[in-house]
Amino acid sequence: MNSRSIVALVALAIAAQPGLAAEIGRVKRSTGIATIERGKAKVPTAPGTQLQTGDVLVTGKDGQIALTFIDDTRFAVGPNSRVALSQFAYDRTRQTGSFLTDVNRGSVAVVSGQIAKSGRDAMKVRTPTALLGVRGTRFIVEAGK
Amino acid sequence: MRALLPIAAMALLGGCATNSLVLLPSEDGGHGAVAVLDGKGGETVVSQPNSRTRLAGRPTTAAYQVKPAEQALLDGLPPKPAQFILYFKEGTTDLTPESQPRLEELLAEVRRRPGVEAQVTGYTDTLGSDDDNDRLSQRRAEEVLEVLAAQGIDTGLLTAVGRGERSLLVKTGDGVREPANRRVEVIVR
């Protein structure tokens, strides 16, 4: 690849950032039955799959999805889960933002990143029965019926 | 018999049927906290590592040891992002000889991680004009990107940004030569 096309790619990557469908994170690994619901579409999960705000991570009996976010937050979504990335905003330069995850069903292990550090309860996790303000750093949330 | 029913129901749901929070020690050995918010400005702060808090009704916390399924989930977390700092010769996009081995380590790390992404940010010291330094910092970032691309790394996974003389690693006045500030920082996730 020549340097001109790299410059073009870089310009594209920068231009794409403020867009509505901006990348907020990536799938690093997925096992078993695991899909991303994006509106009406079902996106298969594979290492490198890009995540967007509003995506819902859904796993089956033996499913697990590992992902990282652009603020360095990390998730492992467990089996029989339904986890929605409901709100996500992050300013890379200032390292501040806000993040709301809905754990509707199942389990998710979390290591929080820059957003949780950037302000009190800037990162929240909601379950059917509770709202959590994340102050750091490693925890598991389980949601039953 | 009646007493057995709830236990049987829990077993059917895989033993994690309750809404709960398990707080663990941080990876660096410290410990954090999670607040259970009541939506009316009140909160219950959970800060005891290795504890489990029930999230239905009033939060109650007890000491807890993770079960195998929970351990499997923790083991499934992606590795911590790695940071690399590469230094450059004054006014150039040439790496210092000392940074060459670090570049090799960066390449190895990028290859090791499935679904990798690398965020490449270039910086300069305060010698020269702001505009020149913005351009130089961008070129430094692109130089690193080019090296990664030459190794077969898909550049769609990489971003390069130049931040000029903003965000100095070593604080100096304007017009100061400072090797520590002539750098590219790479975060590999």
Range of the domain at A63: 21-143
* Residue A3 covered by a domain: no
**Which has the higher per-residue pLDDT, B26 or B157?**
B26
Q: What is the count of structural domains for chain B?
A: 2
Per-residue pLDDT at A13: 47
Average pLDDT over residues A12-36: 75
Residue B77 pLDDT exceeds 60: yes
pLDDT digits (tens, 9 = 90+) for B137-153: 999 999 999 988 888 77
- The reply to whether B20 touches chain A by the CB within 8 Å rule is yes
Are B128 and B91 a contacting pair, CB within 8 Å? yes
**Which has the higher per-residue pLDDT, B153 or A28?**
A28
- The reply to whether A47 touches chain B by the CB within 8 Å rule is yes
Task: Give me the amino acid identity at B33.
Answer: A
Residue B73 CA to residue A76 CA, distance in Å, equals 6
* Residue A32 covered by a domain: yes
Chain B residue numbers with beta carbons less than 8 Å from the beta carbon of A135 are: 32-35, 45
Average pLDDT over residues B79-98: 95
Per-residue pLDDT at B10: 42
Residue A16 CA to residue A20 CA, distance in Å, equals 9
Chain B residue numbers with beta carbons less than 8 Å from the beta carbon of A74 are: 77-78, 80
Residue B129 CA to residue B135 CA, distance in Å, equals 10
> Are residue B88 and residue B176 in the same domain, yes or no?
yes
Residue B52 pLDDT exceeds 60: yes
> Are residue B59 and residue B146 in the same domain, yes or no?
no
* Residue A26 covered by a domain: yes
Place of tokens 């550090």: A117
* Residue A13 covered by a domain: no
Confidence grade of residue B155 (pLDDT, cut at 50, 70, 90): confident
> Are residue B59 and residue B34 in the same domain, yes or no?
yes
Residue of A nearest to B160 (CA): A10
> Are residue B101 and residue B174 in the same domain, yes or no?
yes
> Are residue B181 and residue B128 in the same domain, yes or no?
yes
Of the ranges A56-60, A85-89, B31-35, which one carries the lowest mean pLDDT score?
A: B31-35
> Are residue B65 and residue B93 in the same domain, yes or no?
no
Confidence grade of residue A8 (pLDDT, cut at 50, 70, 90): low
> Are residue B94 and residue B169 in the same domain, yes or no?
yes
* Residue A6 covered by a domain: no
Are A135 and A98 a contacting pair, CB within 8 Å? no
Give one DSSP letter per residue of B34-86, joined into a string. Answer: EEEE-SSS-EEEE--SSEEEE-SSS-EEEE----HHHHHHHHTSPPPPEEEEE
> Are residue B56 and residue B90 in the same domain, yes or no?
no
Task: Using the 3D structure, point to which of B57, B75, B93 is the last residue of a domain.
Answer: B75
* Residue A16 covered by a domain: no
Tokens of B174: 């304007």
* Residue A86 covered by a domain: yes
Tokens of B160: 């390069």
- The reply to whether B136 touches chain A by the CB within 8 Å rule is no
- The reply to whether A11 touches chain B by the CB within 8 Å rule is no
Reported as type and span, the H/E element at residue A76 is strand A74-77
Per-residue pLDDT at A16: 43
Give one DSSP letter per residue of B92-158, joined into a string. Answer: SSPBPGGGHHHHHHHHHHHHHSTT--EEEEE---SSS-HHHHHHHHHHHHHHHHHHHHHTT--GGGE
Per-residue pLDDT at B152: 78
Residue B153 CA to residue B117 CA, distance in Å, equals 10
Instruction: Provide the CATH number for the domain around residue B103.
Output: 3.30.1330.60
> Are residue B117 and residue B179 in the same domain, yes or no?
yes
Chain A residue numbers with beta carbons less than 8 Å from the beta carbon of B119 are: 70, 92
Q: What is the count of structural domains for chain A?
A: 1
Which residues, other chains included, contact B130 with Cβ-Cβ below 8 Å and sequence gap of 6+? B164, B165
- The reply to whether A105 touches chain B by the CB within 8 Å rule is no
Residue A45 CA to residue A65 CA, distance in Å, equals 8
- The reply to whether A121 touches chain B by the CB within 8 Å rule is yes
Residue A12 CA to residue A6 CA, distance in Å, equals 10
* Residue A7 covered by a domain: no
Which of A124, A138, A141, A145 has the most B C-beta neighbours within 10 Å, making it the best mutation to test the interface with B? A138
Residue A64 pLDDT exceeds 60: yes
Task: Using the 3D structure, point to which of B75, B95, B115 is the last residue of a domain.
Answer: B75
Range of the domain at B60: 4-75
